[in-house]
Amino acid sequence: MIDPASVRFRGPLRVHVDGFWAALQSQGYSPLSARNLLLVAAHFSRWLEDHGFAVNDLSEERVASFLAHRRRQGYVQYLSPRALDPLLDYLRGIGVVVRAAFIVATPIDRLLREYAEYLARERCLSTGTIRGYTDFAREFARVRFGTKSPRWDRLTPSDIAEFVLRESRRSVRYCKHKVTGLRSLLRFLHVHGHIPCDLAECVPAVAGWRLAWLPRALEADQVARLLRQGDRRSTARRRDAVIVRLMVRLGLRAGDVAALELDDLDWRAGEMVVRGKGKRESRLPLPHDVGRELAAYLRRGRPSAVTRKVFLRSRAPYRALTPSGVVSAVGRALRQAGIATGGAHVLRHTAATEMLRHGASLPEIAHVLRHRHVDTTAIYAKVDFAALGTLAQPWPEGAA
């Protein structure tokens, strides 16, 4: 057993050694990894003392200066800001360091913080959606202004049209997301006085018609292969198998899966609570095969952690899996099953298509998929070839 007392500590962080060590152990770090992180914390504490800094003086600039010093000293590991994330998260958790102490260094960072507050306060968007909008805003600033400080007041309609034209080489759905993000950013810039007029009206529309596409779904043999494959002895594989089964059987979105909590599972009633778009909650039946796989994961695969989220990272620190982590898990499962095309959302389309093949009506499918309007579900009528066949008229004989 590694003793944290074996790590020499001096400086302002010395009083937090035992608490930090306990936090690392509770998050599932191996003794060796925990000791390495403790060594980095000890080095940081010595550096703070040598420069006359207290814990309250921590900021992004201080962290960057320390890491530069560490590189100059010849260290070859733990040289990125992530090396101090466990320590800083612990200090924030006990109230010693607040996030506001970390100074936003650049104009774009300041604007993005203001934009995120606007989206949360005025638009009432979820955290994940806000992150997507702010990531897009950073990308747009980089494409338009490069490394220079953004001059939003110099934006012109031609700049906007050029950006949309450049993005139009991708899929229609991708372009629609980009255009939506661009309009949101431009409205914010106008409302907050960064640009003199509302340029959102200058954003070109993307040509894409409702119900014009066919939903992609897996074939029955692909579904069987996907649910069958995987080594259940691996913690990550067991978790990924449950995620795939949930999405195939119930048509859950990646965000729905990431948001699941232990208290959402009603084992006696055989139901589960799903928190979907718009912070809406729905109760869905928990199929027997899904419940069996889920119970096995919770008993033998899920790491012990403080969080109540169902699905966790497979490596320390054991935190909740994010929606992007769910997408990655599905991608791995598809590749392992030899399915080259499609992503996480194809499983949702597969769930709807399978329900349709087994005789479910569109309103029933809309209820399971939690569509606000049954019109959204109408796209799946296009893949009901058996029903469509009864509508097909015979070709007139003798027609030229």
Least confident of 94-98, 169-173, 258-262: 94-98
Q: Is 309 a catalytic residue?
A: no
Confidence category of residue 124, pLDDT binned at 50, 70, 90? confident
Q: Is 178 a catalytic residue?
A: no
Q: How many Å is the Cα radius of gyration of the chain?
A: 26
> What domains can you pick out in the chain, each with its CATH number?
4-101 (1.10.150), 107-202 (1.10.150), 220-387 (1.10.443.10)
Catalytic residue among 115, 133, 318, 380, which?
380
Q: Is 166 a catalytic residue?
A: no
pLDDT digits (tens, 9 = 90+) for 65-123: 999 999 999 999 999 988 999 999 888 888 876 554 555 557 888 898 899 999 988 88
Catalytic residue among 46, 237, 249, 371, which?
371
Q: Is 348 a catalytic residue?
A: yes
Q: Is 371 a catalytic residue?
A: yes
Catalytic residue among 166, 277, 283, 292, which?
277
Q: Which residue has the higher pLDDT, 374 or 121?
A: 121
Sheet-wide strand order for 281-285: 265-266, 271-275, 281-285
CB atoms within 10 A of CB 346: 20
Can you tell me the distance from the alpha carbon of 312 to that of 303, in angstroms, rounded to the nearest whole number?
Answer: 7
Extract the tokens encoding 367.
Answer: 């209820």
Catalytic residue among 187, 249, 253, 349, which?
253
Q: Please determine, for residue 338, whether its predicted confidence score (pLDDT) is greater than 50.
A: yes
List helix spans (H) across the chain.
17-26, 31-50, 60-72, 85-93, 107-121, 127-145, 157-167, 172-191, 220-228, 235-250, 254-259, 288-300, 323-336, 344-357, 362-369, 374-377, 385-391
What is the predicted pLDDT for the residue at 378?
A: 66
Catalytic residue among 187, 348, 349, 370, which?
348
Extract the tokens encoding 210.
Answer: 């409702």
Q: Which residue has the higher pLDDT, 279 or 90?
A: 90
Can you tell me the distance from the alpha carbon of 209 to that of 207, in angstroms, rounded to the nearest whole number?
Answer: 7
Catalytic residue among 232, 345, 357, 367, which?
345
What is the predicted pLDDT for the residue at 231?
A: 58
Q: Is 318 a catalytic residue?
A: no
pLDDT digits (tens, 9 = 90+) for 34-64: 899 999 999 999 999 999 998 888 888 888 8
